[in-house]
Amino acid sequence: MVKLVGKNKILSAVFISGRGSNLKSIYNYSIKKNSKICVELVISSKSDVLGVKFARKYNIKTKIINYKNKVKAEARIIKLLKKNNIQLICLAGFMKVLSKNFVKSFKNKIINIHPSLLPKYKGLNTHERAIKNRDRFSGCTVHYVNQNLDSGKIILKQKVKLYKSDTPEQLAKRILKVENKLYPRAINKVISNF
């Protein structure tokens, strides 16, 4: 059983590598009166990205992790997570695959959002693959992270209609809007199981 800490909130870390669009939606959700999480820490694998600027603007503790040596990088992250009493990890466009040992250390405490209707199109280039296969729908999925890529138990997913004229960029834009709404809902669902 996880105790609610601080102002009755579960301390969370958001891992990013880019513009931080889902970080923004998670943060905006976290500051709502009825939210049960607090974004305590942002971990980024890149320093010069919009997500880092956003985190710093809102005074969220932010750490840039050099990934040249994955073992050292993960050891540093684990130390930071423990030091900050992190109870939930949200991967939001984090372009690094976590090791089996890392995932084991935080079993059922790591969630991720993926831009396809899993189990379809694990990994990269999801929009190109959906268009190439002439799918009628694509979408996004929030799932628990386990030891296999994009294979953990599904928490929530939502469909997005594909149009014949869609480019990967157009589809990505539409799916991202849905992701921004779906992720907070999924976090809420996860927390109710804590």
Residue 3 identity: K
Is 127 annotated in the active site?
A: no
Query: Choosing from 114, 127, 143, 157, which is the catalytic residue?
Result: 114
The first and second tokens of residue 13, run together, are 């870390």
Cα dihedral 15, 19, 22, 24 in deg (nearest 10): 100
Rounded to 5 degrees, φ, ψ at 99 are -70, 160
CA gap 75, 173 in Å, rounded: 35
The token duo for 34 is: 């009825």
CB atoms within 10 A of CB 9: 17
Q: Which amino acid makes up residue 158?
A: Q
Contact 103, 115 (CB under 8 A): no
- Active-site amino acid positions: 114
